[in-house]
Structure 1
């Protein structure tokens, strides 16, 4: 059985050595990485663990598992308006399967190259399959997106579509059936969600608050409410739904997925009425795909309204892969 050091060298250290990264004074292979933060920038750091059969099917393609793991972590950097720099990886593996590791490594570095982030260290150990990734990025202090900046009267917006994450899970678990083209789209949305780094770069001088949608739109917007000491109202009819979700022809289920399904990795952000002209210009230019879905109000809770009436949620947040 290959040793931990052999695994690291074969599948991670050698690959990263071919992609030298700015600011990495000492990378994989020592007890610590030595990193140089860009001058005048602040460091944004986030870490998440993905567990087999909780956050992804254990028997999924390891290349897709790797992409999902890194992309979902990159979404946290997007939520803060940070530019990706480096990441670390801790892998817990049930066995030293070289084919699995080769495929996983391929997906990991494909994603890392796409988004310009460098692997600088990590760890491997044996046990039930789990993946822990820590991402690091750079922000300008005056451009950092936070949760506590919303004000009464600010509009609430989301990027792209919401509800795809929950719909994808339903497709994977065969609880709902979709046409082939929609099923393929949802498969991609689950395993290869797009961290909205480009969009966060556009709005970090405009938005008053922001976060990414991982636990569900209502649950995550509640975090902005809590941090800003406000409430919010969502116009359910305004929720942007993808053609795949709309194809279900079940508005009630689609809205439930959009509001509480989670796993979308889109940005939810707020903007003052004075900034809406800037946002409208970005949308008109085709640079930003975003939809106004509500407004920040006095109070402490997120309220959902459909045609002027209260809209009840079946669940309040993201349900993990296992029941």
Structure 2
């Protein structure tokens, strides 16, 4: 099977909303009149971002999900994406389920595959996603203000637990592992929540490298500090059975690969945050507040501080 046969068989689809898709040198996108374009790219490398044994269907899902998560953090509506795929050989046993997983999630969010590239080499997946948002309505990292509440969506720490089971550093029940593995391999991008938070949240980011590390990007861009209630944060974890409290805290605060949203909103708008949570069918948990004093402080449910720091993931650290 040649390169162009591969594209025609697994990835070529007629576009509906955009002007021109796969088959020409460039795709032509058609955002609605007056909208701004939101663009983001993510790369997944075998052995770094996913295990060689991963189910190709789930890998296809995750490859797009991590990009859609960036659109969610911006409050943007998905429009289209491109796929650049490097692989050792044109393996139909990989390509068929991979493309099904990828395109199933694309269809669920009405996001069209409009182009890309394929080449021979180590397994590497790079997706660029395009979305649209009204001018002035995008959620940014720079809008947090003292007095804002800090929230997270969904659950944190489960993907890290699954990774440690794969590494052999911890052992949990098969049921717990299955739940954690699902969170690791098939994260759910919070597109509906991101859109529901437009005009309510003051700042947002998706949690890819760890809660504290990603929150620090908001604090830096906004010129503020924060206090986090670690007890509230740890309660978000779904699969903490079989690990001790210290492991649970590390996985939640610095585990990464969660692809949830951490966002800020004024305390006076708690009702609107609750409404956004309900409208998007996504659980949100209030875990702290923004302060004028710089820095990030950790406390327990009784307000007692502790000094331990948690390093988030860094590819080159």
Pick the TM interval, shorter chain: over 0.9
SS in 1 for 2:239: helix
Length, aligned pairs only: 313
SS of 1:26's equivalent?
coil
Q: TM-score, normalised by structure 2?
A: 0.94
Contact kept? 2:212, 2:312, Cα under 8 Å:
yes
Q: What is the CA-CA distance between 1:299 and the residue it aligns to? A: 3.0
Quick one: distance in 1 between partners of 2:278 and 2:189? 22
Q: Which residue of 1 aligns with 2:238?
A: 243
In the alignment, is the contact (CA less than 8 A) between 2:192 and 2:280 conserved in 1? no
User: SS at 1:34's partner residue?
Assistant: coil
Deviations 1:223-267 (A, max 9, x none): 00010001111111111333312x135111101111111111111
Segment drifting more, 51-60 vs 287-296: 287-296
* Matched residue, 2:139: 145
The equivalences for 1:140-219 within 5 A come to 140-219=134-213
Shift in Å, 1:139: 0.6
The CA distance in 1 between the partners of 2:53 and 2:34, in whole Å, is: 44
Could you tell me how far 1:210 is from its partner in structure 2?
0.5
Matched, 1:30 2:29: no
Of 82-91 and 304-313, more deviation after overlay is shown by 304-313
Unaligned runs of at least 5 residues, structure 1: none
- 1:318 aligned to 2:317? no
**TM-score scaled to structure 1, two decimals?**
0.92
**1:213–1:267 CA contact under 8 A, matched in 2:** yes
| Coordinate RMSD, CA, aligned | 1.8
Residue 288 to residue 9, structure 1, CA distance change in 2 (3 Å): closer
Whole-angstrom CA distance in 2 between matches of 1:261 and 1:21: 39
Shift of 1:201: 1.8
Give CA deviations for 1:73-123 in whole Å, capped at 9, x if unaligned: 110000000011100000011112122111211111111112211100000
Aligned residue for 1:89? 83
Stretches (4+) displaced over 3 A: 280-288
Alignment deviations for residues 268-308 of structure 1 (CA, whole Å, 9 cap, x no partner): 00011221232245557894411111111123322212341
